[in-house]
């Protein structure tokens, strides 16, 4: 990469290795250029996503996100149950109906969304973003004003997510209730 050696301490004590290697070393002009590129890319992506042309993609993403959030939450419930040693306790059929075990399709979907997230993060290293790397987090924080330009659309999209997740849960509950009514 673009490593630079800081030789400011070299003259005082070269023999003991008193020099530092710094990564990056880019000028603030390079940082500004990158920030402008990031803002332009995010703004164009959001404009497309919320435009009439992006409706098919938006609907696809909505369904995929709902599926993954639903599967992830069910997986989290099972992991919590195991970690608390409650996995051998009987669970009422209604609760099992609302939170069924993950199917192979659910597991595949969760993995696909992980890959999609990596793709959407582009050149931002996913591990750095999620591990709290300051530079990557700062880069993402700088995009907040651009994202806020679309806050009404994002709120609507978030509301749709909640509605679809609720529909999915209610559907499971109704399916359980009707199956109980048929067997009684």
Q: Which of 67-81, 85-99, 122-136 has the lowest mean pLDDT?
A: 122-136
H helix intervals, 84-150: 93-98, 104-120, 126-131, 134-141, 144-148
pLDDT over 80 at 21, yes or no: no
Q: Which H helix or E strand runs over 130?
A: helix 126-131
Phi, psi (deg, nearest 5) at residue 22:
-120, 140
pLDDT over 80 at 164, yes or no: yes
Q: Residue 147: pLDDT band by 50, 70, 90 thresholds?
A: confident
């Amino acid at each position: 990469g673009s490593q630079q050696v800081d030789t400011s301490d070299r003259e005082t004590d070269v023999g003991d290795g008193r020099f530092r290697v710094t990564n990056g070393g880019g000028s603030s002009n390079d940082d500004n250029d990158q920030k402008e590129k990031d803002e332009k890319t995010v703004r164009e992506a959001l404009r497309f996503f919320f435009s009439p042309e992006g409706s098919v993609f938006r609907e696809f993403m909505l369904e995929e996100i709902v599926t993954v959030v639903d599967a992830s939450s069910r997986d989290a419930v099972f992991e919590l149950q195991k970690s608390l040693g409650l996995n051998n306790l009987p669970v009422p059929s209604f609760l099992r109906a609302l939170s069924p075990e993950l199917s192979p399709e659910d597991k595949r979907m969760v993995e696909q969304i992980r890959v999609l997230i990596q793709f959407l993060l582009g050149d931002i290293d996913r591990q750095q973003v999620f591990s709290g790397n300051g530079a990557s987090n700062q880069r993402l924080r700088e995009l907040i004003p651009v994202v806020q330009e679309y806050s009404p659309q994002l709120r609507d999209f978030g509301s749709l997510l909640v509605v679809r997740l609720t529909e999915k849960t209610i559907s499971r509950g109704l399916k359980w209730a009707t199956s109980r009514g048929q067997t009684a």
